C-alpha cells in the first residue's frame, strides 16, 4: 500500500477548515464577555439607587422621631402632627396634689417640780408658736400635790415641734396619746352640699317673686324655711371642721412631784384572769353596798325613832274604851218533883 504525502495545497485547505470554527468561537466568547461586563456595570448602578432611596427613607424616619422633641417653638400643632405621622403628640400628664384636711389631737401628762411655773412656760411656748389657750382647769398652789389641765390650740405646722418641747422642757413626760383623723372627704362633701343648698335656696327665692297665688306663696315660704335651716346646719358643720383642721388640739396635764400616776395595766386572761376579774367585781359590789348602807343608816335610825315616838303619843291620846257591864239575874230555884209532900222551904 502506498503512503500519501501531504502537498502544500492540501495543508492550506486543512488550516482554513480549522480557522473558521475557531473564529466563530472567539466571536461568541467576546459577545458573552461583553454581556457579562454590561450586567456587572448595571448592577452597581441599581444598588446605588436603592441605597439612595433607603437612605432617604431612613432620614425621613429619623426626622419623624426627632420632630416632637426638636420642633421649633413657633411650629404649630398641625406641623408637628404631620412630622410624626398618624400618631399624635404625647400629652403631658398633670398630677395635682390635694391638700389633706387632718384633725390632730394629743393628750400629754408631765410631772413638774413647780406646776405654776411649768404652766406659765407652757403658755408662753404655745403663744410663741401662734396658738392660744382654749380651756384651763388648775388648782396650782405652793404644795407638791398641785395639778393643772390646760387645753391648747396649735397650728398644724408647729404641732410636732411644740409637742416635743412641752414633753421635754417642762419636766418629766409620763404619758402621751396622739391621734390623727383624715377628714378630707367629709370636708369636700360638706362644701358641695353647702353649695347645692345655696343654689336651691336661690331658686326658691326666685320662684317666690314669681308666685301669685296664696297657696303657692305659703308652700314656697315653707320650703325656704326648711332649706335655710338645712343650710345653717351644714354651715355650722363646715365651720366646726375648719376649726378642727385649722388648729391641732393638745391637752396638757401638769402634776406635782408627789402625785402618784397610775400606769395602765393589761387585763388578765384565762381562768385565773376571769377569777381575778370576778373577785374584783365582788369586792367592788360589797364596797358599793356598804357605802350605800352607811349613807342610809342615819336616815333609817331617825325614821325608827320617829315611828316609836309617834306610837307612844298615839297610845296616850287615844281614849280608853270601857268594857260593858254585865247584869246577872238571880233566878229562884225551881221545886224539885221528888221533894217530900208537906215540906216547906225556909227563907
Residue-by-residue DSSP string for 4-47: PPPPHHHHHHHHHHHHHHHHHHHHHHHHHHHHHHHHHHHHHHHH
The mean-pLDDT minimum among 119-123, 176-180, 342-346 falls in 342-346
Q: Can you tell me the mean pLDDT for 269-278? A: 81
Q: Can you tell me the mean pLDDT for 305-332? A: 69
342: left (phi over 0), alpha (psi -120 to 50) or beta: left
Q: Can you tell me the mean pLDDT for 279-288? A: 91
Confidence of residue 315 (pLDDT cuts 50, 70, 90): confident
Burial status of residue 115 (CB atoms within 10 A of its CB: 0-12, 13-18, 19 or more): buried
Q: Can you tell me the mean pLDDT for 121-136? A: 92
The mean-pLDDT minimum among 169-178, 225-234, 268-277 falls in 268-277
pLDDT at residue 118 above 50? yes
pLDDT at residue 342 above 90? no
Mean pLDDT of the chain: 74
Q: How far apart are CA 15 and CA 17, in angstroms?
A: 5
Q: pLDDT by residue (tens digit) across 9-49?
A: 454 455 555 555 565 565 555 554 444 444 444 333 444 44
Of the candidates 144, 96, 85, 157, the residue with the CA atom closest to the CA atom of residue 118: 144
Q: pLDDT by residue (tens digit) across 185-238?
A: 999 999 999 999 999 999 999 998 988 889 889 999 999 999 999 999 999 999
**Beta-carbon count within 10 A of 98 CB:** 7
Amino acid at each position: 500500500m502506498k503512503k500519501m504525502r501531504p502537498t502544500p495545497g492540501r495543508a492550506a485547505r486543512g488550516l482554513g477548515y480549522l480557522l473558521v470554527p475557531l473564529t466563530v468561537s472567539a466571536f461568541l466568547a467576546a459577545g458573552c464577555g461583553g454581556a457579562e461586563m454590561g450586567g456587572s456595570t448595571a448592577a452597581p448602578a441599581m444598588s446605588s439607587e436603592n441605597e439612595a432611596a433607603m437612605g432617604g427613607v431612613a432620614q425621613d424616619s429619623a426626622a419623624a422621631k426627632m420632630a416632637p422633641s426638636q420642633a421649633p417653638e413657633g411650629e404649630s400643632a398641625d406641623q408637628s402632627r404631620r412630622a410624626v405621622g398618624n400618631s399624635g403628640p404625647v400629652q403631658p400628664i398633670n398630677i395635682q396634689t390635694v391638700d389633706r384636711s387632718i384633725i390632730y389631737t394629743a393628750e400629754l401628762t408631765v410631772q413638774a417640780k413647780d406646776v405654776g411655773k411649768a404652766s406659765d412656760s407652757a403658755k408662753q411656748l404655745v403663744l410663741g408658736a401662734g396658738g392660744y389657750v382654749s380651756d384651763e382647769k388648775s388648782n396650782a398652789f405652793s404644795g407638791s400635790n398641785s395639778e393643772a389641765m390646760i387645753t391648747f390650740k396649735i397650728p398644724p405646722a408647729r404641732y410636732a415641734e411644740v409637742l416635743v418641747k412641752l414633753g421635754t422642757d417642762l419636766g418629766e413626760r409620763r404619758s402621751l396619746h396622739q391621734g390623727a383623723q383624715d377628714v378630707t372627704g367629709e370636708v369636700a362633701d360638706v362644701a358641695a352640699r353647702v353649695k347645692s343648698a345655696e343654689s336651691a335656696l336661690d331658686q326658691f327665692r326666685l320662684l317666690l317673686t314669681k308666685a301669685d297665688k296664696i297657696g303657692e306663696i305659703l308652700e314656697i315660704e315653707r320650703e325656704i324655711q326648711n332649706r335655710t335651716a338645712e343650710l345653717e346646719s351644714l354651715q355650722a358643720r363646715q365651720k366646726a371642721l375648719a376649726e378642727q383642721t385649722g388648729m391641732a388640739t393638745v391637752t396638757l396635764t401638769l402634776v406635782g412631784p408627789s402625785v402618784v400616776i397610775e400606769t395602765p395595766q393589761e387585763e388578765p386572761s384565762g381562768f385565773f384572769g376571769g377569777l381575778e376579774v370576778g373577785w374584783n367585781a365582788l369586792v367592788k359590789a360589797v364596797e358599793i353596798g356598804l357605802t350605800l348602807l352607811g349613807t342610809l343608816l342615819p336616815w333609817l335610825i331617825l325614821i325608827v325613832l320617829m315611828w316609836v315616838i309617834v306610837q307612844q303619843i298615839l297610845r296616850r291620846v287615844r281614849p280608853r274604851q270601857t268594857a260593858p257591864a254585865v247584869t246577872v239575874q238571880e233566878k229562884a230555884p225551881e221545886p224539885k218533883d221528888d221533894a217530900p209532900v208537906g215540906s216547906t222551904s225556909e227563907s
